[in-house]
Structure 1
Amino acid sequence: MTTTGDSETSSPRWTWRSAKWFILATVALALFIEIFLYGFLVPMLPYMLEERMHQDPKQTQRLTSISLALHGLVSAFGGPLIGHLADKAPNRKIPFLVALAGCIVGTFMVACTTDVGVFFGGRVLQGISGSGAWIVGLATAADTVGPERIGTTMGIIMAFVNAAMVTGPMVSGLILEMAGYWFTWSVPVVILVIDVVARLLMVEKKEDGKTLADAQETDPLLESSGEEESRQDGKTPTANFWRTMLGNSRVMTALVIGVWGPTLNTSFNATLPLHVLDIFGWGPSRVGLMFFFLSLPGLPISPLAGYLRDRIGTRTPATIALTLQGVFLVLLGFAGNKQFEWSSAAGRGKALYIFCCIVFGTLRPFVSGIGPVELTCVVKAEEAKNPGIFGPRGGLSRVFSLVEVAATSGMTLGPILAGALTERFGYYTMCWTLSVISIIMATMARIFLGSKSTQEENRPQEESVE
């Protein structure tokens, strides 16, 4: 007997709810709001800490770094558990909605509180729910498209992420000055409402009329093949997953670079507002403009970067982008530095700083999407060689839990590293240190990441299995 809800979903006028474009749009919106809220706070933190929570202005840099790092820290610890539970769940819509509920509660805690403890509690809840959104969302996207289009798909999704990086700090910085604190918070509330509606409407993609959970329950051959594989090597599929993935140099390099990208991005969040205020005298609106320059180029370039990964692999684009990041980090340290007359604040310092921000925004898409593409390719190749190696449900949620742990570890490390180096040695030394790390990342990318030739090597194996 068909229920009313099922008949509505299967009706032609409701098929858009399970259409590929709608699923991917819902995922993109979920990731947009998570990054939007992270960046939204940045220009507001000095005001919130000093005016609403009455903290000593001398503690603003330290509390800012802690606030940004805490978001990533709880996500890094919660990621593997969330990935494991998501792989066990009968569908991904329920974890998606749970993550949204946590995001809403955490956002209201952060916005409404005048107590530092409650504020940090809200940041913890935002971090956990954000981790869930990333893991479940990216796994849903990878299930929806084939591996041959994973790079382009992730590139398009990352364009929405970059849009959030642009609009988050920019919107809060501009509206805070023009309309006040509470009106500023109305913007994320509206986006959260849209997100609720989209997630309730979304219907997961079905294969051959059955969900993956249905296939598990009704296909004994699928279950027995996974169990037999487990018995043959004496390891469970879960043990196989962690051993295989973490023992792969290509995977580990992608994860290390996955840590580095957010480390660099959040180092700007932690140091840029106070640095440009001190050196150039720029307030929240100018800070928002700098984040606009840091992220705007990624909007049109992210799909191109994803297309290049599908066509030539990640190795060459990542190597070039990481090398150029190292060069421009040095120039960023020169901008506004009083020791050098040619780049001082009174000279070309402002123009140089703006130019460097634009360059970083241009290079970011070639680094930010490496993890999802590389790990998905490795998982598909391993499953082609050894069907059922990661269990009947596969390991996509666990894959993206690794990606999420890497990203949130970087979000934790960035504010701590950049804030500590800036406080102890100054902004100039901080930029040089990050430059050296970027060159090391470029070297690792050149040696270990995948290229077109590695994709071709995997293809015959996959075809032979078929």
Structure 2
Amino acid sequence: MEKTIITEKTTVISAKSKHRPPVLLRYRSSTRFIISVVALACFVDVFLYGLAVPVLPFALHKRVNIATDHVQYWISVLLGIYGAGVVVGSPIAGWLADQLPSRRVPLLVGLITLLGTTLLLCLSRTIHLFVLGRILQGLTAAIVWTVGLALLSDTVGQDRVGKAMGYVSMALPLASLCAPVLGGLLFDHRGYYAVFAIAFATIGLDILFRLVMIEKSAAAEWSDVQADALEVTPRAVEEQSRPVSSMMDEHLSTGKVRTESPRPVGIEKGDASKPLRRIPPVLLLLKSPRLLAALWGTMMEQTLTTAFDAVLPLFVKETFGWDATKAGLIFLPYMCPFILLSPVVGSLSDKWGSRALAAAGFISGCPFLICLRFVTHSSSTQIAILCILLLLNGISGALTLPSLMAEVSRVVETKEAEDPRFVSKSGAYAQAYGLFVSFQGLGCTIGPLIAGALRQGCGWETMATVLGILCGVSAIPVLLFTD
């Protein structure tokens, strides 16, 4: 009997369990650490994007010799083409990630590419190289975001995905806040290359964390961490949804390991011989009004955020006479609510759903954006009004982004339960988040271009009014279709 137990146990455990497991395997594959790695990856990507925001108005003129009256145009272009790179790269990254057995490899590939594009931007002295560098930076962002969010959904269950996305959402405004401030300070006091020194340092930290991380599907191959690896039902482990004890009982009683694939939801045993038409999951996702509403809300939230990136530094420079340091600090009141409220909003979305929170964010943001039109000249009162309005807009934005991020994962969960065509070995989380990141990139493209064109062609007041109307209208599909 003892011999049988040993034999059956070795059939369940991978051959890797014969070797000593990696150092600190339990911690390196823990849910908290994986969430931290994904949050750091997204932080670094947004941090590198934000470093350029307060620097571009000054660097384009001094380094690339762009005429002063063309600076706003090129700022909008450089921020917009970053989003275009994200739009193009995200669906491709999502599809490839769902075909690969590990999320770690594409994350590392994205990191190496990010290092190269940052070096290109550091050495650029022509506008053409700046444009190329920003496009490549957008493509690498697509890999980081798509694969990272898919890894997060693999790691946590549906009941906790909102909270996990809340922590990732908190990393984004933290990067958006730190990057402009540090970028402005370093540019003013240490020069252009000092800005990229901090960029390479953050990439180095990201490299370290990604190499240390071990996915739960890989950690489960060592017997001493198998139970821990299954504690949050990672989707990469085939037997994840069944208790470990029941699996071992079946193995011991039958003398063999179950090898057949699980039957898709909705298919009876007698129908197993009938071929099931396989439709690419991404096409089924695009047929979901619920997902499309979440993607629309994501695009509009990103449009509003990146609109500020394009016009706010130049606006305070021209209106208040501020330097790059102060232009970076103006983002503080806007980003603080994202940092403080995102985990709370994510947890609330797990309990209440996404509809009420996201819709409340868009509806409340409408008047706050329109009121920006009243900031027109330089005075202490006007500066205070601008800061208060940015704070209120930040609170509105913090209600939308974490809840919509979690909604994407819930749509995939629902599709897998309801539609047998959606069940596949590779899953569809990376493809779903590929769409999510693609719509984020679309917002990154639209926001700077619309805001820059409106401010330059029609003025600050008209720009604020149009953005406010767009924000209010965005609540309609969210109210009608999200859950």
> In structure 2, what is the Cα distance between the partners aligned to 1:360 and 1:287?
18
TM-score (norm 1): 0.88
Change (3 A) 1:214 1:442: closer
Equivalent residue for 2:113? Answer: 102
Equivalent residue for 2:278? Answer: 236
Equivalent residue for 2:153? Answer: 142
Contact 1:296 1:361 in 2 (8 A): yes
Change (3 A) 1:94 1:348: same
> In structure 2, what is the Cα distance between the partners aligned to 1:237 and 1:231?
18
Q: 2:408 aligns with which of 354, 364, 375?
A: 375
- Find out whether 1:311 has 2:344 as its counterpart: no
Q: 2:336 aligns with which of 291, 296, 311?
A: 296
- Find out whether 1:74 has 2:85 as its counterpart: yes
Contact 1:165 1:295 in 2 (8 A): yes
Contact 2:358 2:404 in 1 (8 A): no
Contact 1:254 1:370 in 2 (8 A): no
Amino acid in structure 2 at the alignment position of 1:180: G
Q: 1:269 aligns with which of 290, 309, 313?
A: 309
Contact 2:264 2:423 in 1 (8 A): no
- Identity rate, percent: 28
1:335-384 Cα offsets, whole Å, 9 max, x none, are: 12xxxxxxx43473211111111112222221112333112112111211
> In structure 1, what is the Cα distance between the partners aligned to 2:470 and 2:414?
30
3-state SS of paired residue (1:406)? helix
How far apart are 1:297 and its partner, in Å? 2.1
- Find out whether 1:398 has 2:431 as its counterpart: yes
> In structure 1, what is the Cα distance between the partners aligned to 2:391 and 2:344?
17
How far apart are 1:161 and its partner, in Å? 1.1
Equivalent residue for 2:362? Answer: 322
> In structure 1, what is the Cα distance between the partners aligned to 2:412 and 2:373?
40
- Residues 84-103 of structure 1: matches in 2 within 5 Å? 84-103=95-114
Contact 1:84 1:398 in 2 (8 A): yes
Equivalent residue for 1:202? Answer: 213
Contact 2:294 2:407 in 1 (8 A): yes
Equivalent residue for 1:179? Answer: 190
Change (3 A) 1:212 1:242: closer
How far apart are 1:235 and its partner, in Å? 3.4
Equivalent residue for 1:151? Answer: 162
How far apart are 1:396 and its partner, in Å? 0.3
Amino acid in structure 2 at the alignment position of 1:406: F
Note the residue ranges of structure 2 that are not aligned, 5 or more in a row.
1-13, 222-233, 240-256
3-state SS of paired residue (2:474)? helix
Amino acid in structure 2 at the alignment position of 1:236: R
Deviates more, 1:158-167 or 1:382-391: 382-391
Equivalent residue for 2:474? Answer: 441
Q: 1:384 aligns with which of 396, 399, 417?
A: 417
Q: 1:7 aligns with which of 20, 29, 32?
A: 20
Amino acid in structure 2 at the alignment position of 1:412: T
Deviates more, 1:356-365 or 1:429-438: 356-365
Contact 2:282 2:428 in 1 (8 A): no
Runs of 4+ in 1 over 6 A off after TM superposition: 1-5, 211-214, 228-231
> In structure 1, what is the Cα distance between the partners aligned to 2:302 and 2:258?
41
TM-score (norm 2): 0.85
> In structure 2, what is the Cα distance between the partners aligned to 1:320 and 1:421?
26
Note the residue ranges of structure 1 that are not aligned, 5 or more in a row.
337-343, 451-466
Equivalent residue for 2:175? Answer: 164
Change (3 A) 1:200 1:438: same
Amino acid in structure 2 at the alignment position of 1:411: C
3-state SS of paired residue (2:214)? coil
> In structure 2, what is the Cα distance between the partners aligned to 1:176 and 1:400?
35
Change (3 A) 1:213 1:301: closer
Equivalent residue for 1:341? Answer: none
> In structure 1, what is the Cα distance between the partners aligned to 2:324 and 2:219?
53
Contact 2:276 2:421 in 1 (8 A): no
Contact 1:237 1:390 in 2 (8 A): no
1:260-310 Cα offsets, whole Å, 9 max, x none, are: 011000100111111112222222111111112211221121111101101
